[in-house]
Amino acid sequence: MRTKALIFGLLLAASTHAQLLYHDASAFPLLGKATDATLTRYERLPASLESVSRKPLWDLGRNSAGLALRFRSNSTCIGAKWEVRDNRSMNHMTPTGIKGLDLYCLQDGKWVFAGSGRPQGKVNEATIVKNMDPEEREYLLYLSLYDGVTSLAIGVDSLSTLDQPTVDLPVREKPVVFYGTSILQGGCASRPGMAHTNILERWLNRECINLGFSGNALLDLEIAELIATVDASMFVLDFLPNATVEQMKERAEKFYSIVRSKHPETPILFVEDPIFTHSRFDKRVAREVKAKNETIAAIFQSMKKKGEKNIYLLSSKDIIGHDGEATVDGIHFTDLGFMRYAEVLYPLIKKHIR
């Protein structure tokens, strides 16, 4: 058995890069999960919801959005082998964002982009960064946004170290929990690190939990119960692009109260529907955005009147700038849109996390 593993390891190393030896990633800390009670490691919803949640919601919960592996190495080269569940493609998002990887390195306390893992399909192998000086470094590896990683191995030079991180960054106590739509799930970042929850995780140096479900932020109450299990510093509820006016009227306050009942003091931020860039022309979309924003404003004011504390409502006015250029299709943010959104959210969250 040991011999077989050794031979296998050598074969793996020889197959692409003479120096790279691959190590299963299971042993390393994984950030971004609301719960560890998942069916497999790199997914987001607890196994208990498989028979409870609507099927599309459950399936999206198996995407790895917001998950990130922490490790330390002195290797001159970092590679990865990974497999994804669905081998999904979309015409408005890069395969690297959908099913790739994204590596950041800690430099003077800040996370700096080091390289992306560009996928080939279901089974993937990539050299992410190479030709580095052989120094000890702390790494953060973001996983696929719109597919589910089913296996992951990290490749390092055969004579180098691959160790547990020795720096506790991003801070894992009191994470920030985000609930939302396709945009929140990272559609359409060019690479996983550019989803705004991942940008904010780096800027805040605080763990962020991404509960974005493309087309399915419909205020399902079991998700509120999952959110309520997290001892968070702040909850961000960003469901307007999906939830209808009727769904909001019926369930937004209930969804909120499930979270609030377990966290009487924690700040909860509601976010208005973005002013979608094509809504300057598409009058139906413009009317829908207006109706939804009026609805959330009414719900918010009603809660305030009832005496709810520590609730906030973010106006969508400045979320993605005013030049109309921040999306790929009018709706889904590009890296430009995510960067602008992160810049708006950062100060709001920063002042609430202790």
Question: For the chain, what is the radius of gyration of the CA atoms?
Answer: 21
Q: Does 273 bind its own copies (CB under 8 A)?
A: no
Q: Does 20 bind its own copies (CB under 8 A)?
A: no
Candidates 317, 313, 289, 314; CA nearest to 301 is 313
Contact with its own copies (CB under 8 A): which of 96, 210, 216, 242? 96
Question: Of the two residues 116 and 233, which places its CB atom closer to its own copies in the complex?
Answer: 116
Q: Rounded to the nearest 5 degrees, what angle is found at the Cα of 262, between the Cα atoms of 261 and 267?
A: 85
> Do 101 and 144 contact (CB within 8 A), yes or no?
yes
> Do 337 and 320 contact (CB within 8 A), yes or no?
yes
Residue list 107-126, contact with its own copies (CB under 8 A): 107, 112-116, 118-120
Q: Does 130 bind its own copies (CB under 8 A)?
A: yes
> How many Cβ atoms are within 10 Å of 120's Cβ, its own excluded?
12
Q: Which stretch binds its own copies (CB under 8 A): 7-15, 40-48, 93-101, 220-228?
A: 93-101
CB of 37 to its own copies, least distance (A): 33
Question: Of the two residues 172 and 322, which places its CB atom closer to its own copies in the complex?
Answer: 322
Question: Of the two residues 52 and 286, which places its CB atom closer to its own copies in the complex?
Answer: 286
The maximal CA–CA distance of the chain, rounded, in angstroms, is 70
CA distance 111 to 302: 41
Question: Of the two residues 234 and 331, which places its CB atom closer to its own copies in the complex?
Answer: 331
Q: Does 329 bind its own copies (CB under 8 A)?
A: yes
CB of 123 to its own copies, least distance (A): 14
Candidates 347, 154, 322, 333; CA nearest to 269 is 347
Question: Of the two residues 177 and 342, which places its CB atom closer to its own copies in the complex?
Answer: 342
Q: Does 105 bind its own copies (CB under 8 A)?
A: yes
CA distance 333 to 194: 10
Question: Of the two residues 92 and 309, which places its CB atom closer to its own copies in the complex?
Answer: 92
CA distance 204 to 146: 24
Candidates 34, 67, 25; CA nearest to 198 is 67
| Per-residue mark of binding to its own copies, 185-224 (x: CB under 8 A) | ---x-xx-xx----x-------------------------
Q: How far is CA 298 from CA 8, 237, 313, in A?
A: 62, 16, 11
Contact with its own copies (CB under 8 A): which of 172, 249, 254, 280? 280
| 74 Cβ neighbours under 8 A, 6+ residues apart | 134, 135, 136, 137, 160, 161
> How many binding residues for its own copies (CB under 8 A)?
47
Phi then psi dihedrals of residue 15, to 5 deg = -70, -25
Contact with its own copies (CB under 8 A): which of 66, 79, 100, 187? 100
Question: Of the two residues 245 and 339, which places its CB atom closer to its own copies in the complex?
Answer: 339
CB of 80 to its own copies, least distance (A): 14
CB of 61 to its own copies, least distance (A): 25
Q: Which stretch binds its own copies (CB under 8 A): 7-15, 33-41, 88-96, 141-149?
A: 88-96
Question: Of the two residues 215 and 330, which places its CB atom closer to its own copies in the complex?
Answer: 330
> What is the b/e burial string over 160-194, where b = at least 16 CB atoms within 10 angstroms of the residue's CB?
bebeebeeebbeeebbbbbbbbbbbbbbbbbbbbb
Q: How far is CA 354 from CA 159, 176, 221, 240, 350, in A?
A: 41, 11, 28, 28, 8
Question: Of the two residues 46 and 241, which places its CB atom closer to its own copies in the complex?
Answer: 241
Residue list 50-69, contact with its own copies (CB under 8 A): none
Residues that bind its own copies (CB under 8 A): 91-96, 100, 105, 107, 112-116, 118-120, 129-133, 188, 190-191, 193-194, 199, 277-278, 280-285, 324-330, 334-336, 339
